[in-house]
């Protein structure tokens, strides 16, 4: 065990100059080094006879050096090592550039293995810069599955392999955190074996077994982490809110539209959860326009009717304001007081007094922050809607029993645990109780990602669209078809409708580029294409109050066209907008394109999405083709996950999940097995005290990842 703690700088064969480079990769001890895994392999395992070599293939040959020479090219100032190797069937040439020392090792008569790509020139077939080893040595860089490691400047995979060969014997000292019954039940190798298999697999089967073991281990730890959060949450108490069927039916019958079956099912699941004295922790996952707000309103109605307060938190002021307006309309016939609390706004809506009025800003009462906070703590406000300002210490409630968080993923993965902790300690006015929690997302999440990242939440899915919604007609538009599309846009505006133009996403560091691109496109469209129309501009460098004004002006039809970067919020509702143009569409993921597309089609009007692309590649066209074929966000999300992988799909690597877990995140069976074993393990020992090694490993794992 002590060998694993040995500092790499104390290993005689490791030159001191490598120590700071290794530290860059967080490799300080022998144990760290052994757990630095390859991310891919070169397959040099099959030996080929020289007479069977083919140009363009990768091969390993074994033979004897016939001749070796060093050639200096004066023109290019380069040293070329040329070596001829023979086996029983023929001779092949190998060439290395600027590695003169090789000719000192590969002298005539020496046995050698060469592995690499076969090239061809006027002199025939040859190896170009192949990996080589004397055939008397145990294969490390040739003649096997050769591991390729994450590298950094000054550190090569070849160097890592030589050192690993020397240190791999210490793998025997690694203590396995996985209980033996799990390893036996799943026929998985123990840790020491799996580490050897990953670094030096003798067969593909060994490598696959090791991969399976580590993928399972990481999924198992994720499931333990999420299930422990769930168990801890379920130990808390919440108020039991009786399901008032008569009230709910009356509210539903008063709506100007019929609920979908998916909405009815989700609402029933939520209302039944809230009847329990345990706090609900449910995720409402629905596509753009599937009607999550109404379901959330039904949960709020039940809470308020039982004499308690509810709150809804959105990630931006624009979305909070929109929720305030739409929920005020939904509750126009209820005797509720609804408030909006953000850093910029404090508004009140007295629903029953204003039932005949439209929910525009002029119908809302502005109050001071102090007055609004006083009405919250006295219980005069039944429902408060706002941003993260709601969880500040100054905000106190009389009896808050339900918290709804909209677009939770927008708060960032690492902030979710913080939000949940805040909710547990919020000034809800109910000693010994915590509020029920409903989170909502408009990004359809594939089932596998839900299992992994939201394993501690119960799930309700809105996978059905309202009947009156027409599918959005989507079309890929090439450069030469632009003018035709602009003519169509003009005809839609002439019919009284509005248009979004979206520019590509840029990195945070490129905000100035974003500003320039947005400003230039706005000017081009205003001056050259639509000089007679009114165009608004929205980009990331606009302050939030200005951003809100631009969005409000667009909703109030002061602009015909809104030119915007990807700053256009998920959920922004402009029912009169019927066309969205997305520039350089190939630069966005499918899920993001689908989110943008959801900015239109929010009324009974036929809507259109035009994907502008200058890309001529088959891959880009085929990927964008998925948008033309379906408007089902869940299908698009699955396709996006397959095409881009989970790290890209999530739009972030901030979860800190190891690569091997990310690679297997689509393996539903593996996740389900890990879930079942985690459940059983926690049933046997809720605090994992019966499994101290596993307990320690989970602690280390949780330091590096940020799950719910």
Q: What is the DSSP letter of 71?
A: E
Taking alpha carbons only, the member of 652, 708, 701, 703 closest to residue 219 is 701
Give the whole-number percent of the chain exceeding pLDDT 70: 89
Pairing of β 131-134 and β 111-121: antiparallel
Identify the CA nearest to 58 among candidates 160, 142, 140.
142
Write down the pLDDT at residue 344: 79
- What are the φ and ψ backbone dihedral angles of 460, each rounded to 5 degrees? -120, 135
Residue 309, CA distances (Å) to 284, 305, 393, 460 in order: 20, 9, 17, 23
What is residue 414's predicted lDDT score, i.e. its pLDDT? Answer: 41
Tokens at 19, concatenated:
């120590």
- Asked if 364 and 348 count as a contact pair (C-beta separation under 8 A), the reply is yes
More confident residue, 671 or 249: 249
Cβ–Cβ under 8 Å, residues 274 and 305: no
- C-alpha of 295 from chain center: 26
Give residue 701's pLDDT: 80
Mean pLDDT over 242-261 rounds to 93
C-alpha to C-alpha distances, 564 to 99, 520, 551, nearest whole angstrom: 54, 12, 10
Report the pLDDT averaged over residues 2-25: 88
Q: Which of 590, 548, 582 is nearest to 565 (CA)?
A: 582
Q: Average the pLDDT over each of 42-56, 313-327, 359-373, 394-408 and give the range with the smallest value.
A: 359-373
Q: How many CA atoms lie within 13 A of 348 on its CB side?
A: 19
Task: Give the tens place of pLDDT for each residue, 373-421.
Answer: 999 999 999 999 998 888 777 888 999 999 999 875 554 444 455 566 6
Q: Give the pLDDT band (50/70/90) at residue 330.
A: very high
Choice between 150 and 498, residue whose per-residue pLDDT is larger: 498
Q: What pLDDT, in 10s, does the model give residues 604-657?
A: 889 999 999 888 777 778 889 989 998 888 888 888 877 766 655 554 444 445
Per-residue CA distances from 138 to 45, 115, 132, 143, 198 (Å): 13, 14, 12, 9, 17
Please report how the helices 204-234 and 668-684 are oriented relative to each other, as an axis angle in degrees rounded to 10.
50
pLDDT at 516 (0 to 100): 67
d(CA 696, CA 699): 5
């Amino acid at each position: 065990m002590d060998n694993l703690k040995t500092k790499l700088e104390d290993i005689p064969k490791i030159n001191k100059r490598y120590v700071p480079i290794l530290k860059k990769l967080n490799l300080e001890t022998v144990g760290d080094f052994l757990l630095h895994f390859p991310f891919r392999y070169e397959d040099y395992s099959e030996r080929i006879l020289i007479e069977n070599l083919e140009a363009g293939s990768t091969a390993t040959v074994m033979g004897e050096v016939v001749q070796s020479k060093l050639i200096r090219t004066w023109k290019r100032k380069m040293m070329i090592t040329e070596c001829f190797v023979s086996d029983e069937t023929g001779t092949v040439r190998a060439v290395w550039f600027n590695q003169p020392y090789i000719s000192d090792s590969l002298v005539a008569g020496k046995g050698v293995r060469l592995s690499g790509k076969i090239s061809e020139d006027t002199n025939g077939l040859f190896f170009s810069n192949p990996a080589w080893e004397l055939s008397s040595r145990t294969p490390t860089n040739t003649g096997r599955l050769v591991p390729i490691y994450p590298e950094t400047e000054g550190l090569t995979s070849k160097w890592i392999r030589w050192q690993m060969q020397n240190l791999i014997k210490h793998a025997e000292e690694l203590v396995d955190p996985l209980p033996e019954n799990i390893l036996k039940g799943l026929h998985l190798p123990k840790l020491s074996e799996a580490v050897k298999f990953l670094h030096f697999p003798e067969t593909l089967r060994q490598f696959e077994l090791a991969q399976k073991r580590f993928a399972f281990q990481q999924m198992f730890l994720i499931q333990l982490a999420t299930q422990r959060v769930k168990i801890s949450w379920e130990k808390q108490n919440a108020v039991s809110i009786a399901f008032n069927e008569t009230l709910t039916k009356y509210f539903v019958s008063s709506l100007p539209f019929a609920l979908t079956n998916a909405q009815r099912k989700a609402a029933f699941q939520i209302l039944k959860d809230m009847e329990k004295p345990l706090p609900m922790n449910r995720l409402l996952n629905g596509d753009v326009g599937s009607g999550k707000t109404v379901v959330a309103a039904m949960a709020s109605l039940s809470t308020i009717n039982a004499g308690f307060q509810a709150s809804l938190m959105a990630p931006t002021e624009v979305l909070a304001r929109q929720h305030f307006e739409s929920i005020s309309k939904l509750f126009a016939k209820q005797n509720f007081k609804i408030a909006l609390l953000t850093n910029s706004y404090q508004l009140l809506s007295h629903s029953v007094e204003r039932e005949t009025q439209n929910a525009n800003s002029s119908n809302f009462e502005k109050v001071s922050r102090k007055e609004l906070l006083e009405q919250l703590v006295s219980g005069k406000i039944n429902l408060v809607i706002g941003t993260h300002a709601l969880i500040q210490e100054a905000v106190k409630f009389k009896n808050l029993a339900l918290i709804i968080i909209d677009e939770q993923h927008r708060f960032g993965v690492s902030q979710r645990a913080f939000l949940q902790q805040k909710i547990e300690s919020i000034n809800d006015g109910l000693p010994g109780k915590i509020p029920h929690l409903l989170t909502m997302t408009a990004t359809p999440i594939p089932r596998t990602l839900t299992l992994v990242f939201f394993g501690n939440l119960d799930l309700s899915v809105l996978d059905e669209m309202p009947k009156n919604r027409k599918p959005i007609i989507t079309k890929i538009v090439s450069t030469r078809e632009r003018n035709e599309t602009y003519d169509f846009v003009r005809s839609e505006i002439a019919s009284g409708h509005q248009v979004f133009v979206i520019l590509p996403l840029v990195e945070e560091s490129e905000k100035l580029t974003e500003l320039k691109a947005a400003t230039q496109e706005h000017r081009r469209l205003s001056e050259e294409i639509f000089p007679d129309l009114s165009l608004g501009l929205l980009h990331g460098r606009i302050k939030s109050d200005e951003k809100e004004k631009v969005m409000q002006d667009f909703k109030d039809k002061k602009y015909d066209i809104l030119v915007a970067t990807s700053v256009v919020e998920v959920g922004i509702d402009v029912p009169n907008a019927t066309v969205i143009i997305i520039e350089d569409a190939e630069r966005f993921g499918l899920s993001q394109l689908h989110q943008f597309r959801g900015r239109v089609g929010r009324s009974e009007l036929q809507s259109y999405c035009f994907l502008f692309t200058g890309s001529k590649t088959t891959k880009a066209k085929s990927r964008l083709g998925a948008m033309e074929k379906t408007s089902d966000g869940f299908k698009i999300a699955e396709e996006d996950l397959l095409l881009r992988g989970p790290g890209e799909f999530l739009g972030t690597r901030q979860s800190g999940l190891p690569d091997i877990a990310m690679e297997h995140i689509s393996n539903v069976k593996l996740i389900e097995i890990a879930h079942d074993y985690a459940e059983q393990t926690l049933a046997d020992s809720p605090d994992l005290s019966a499994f101290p090694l596993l307990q320690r490993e989970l602690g280390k794992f949780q330091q590096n990842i940020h799950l719910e």
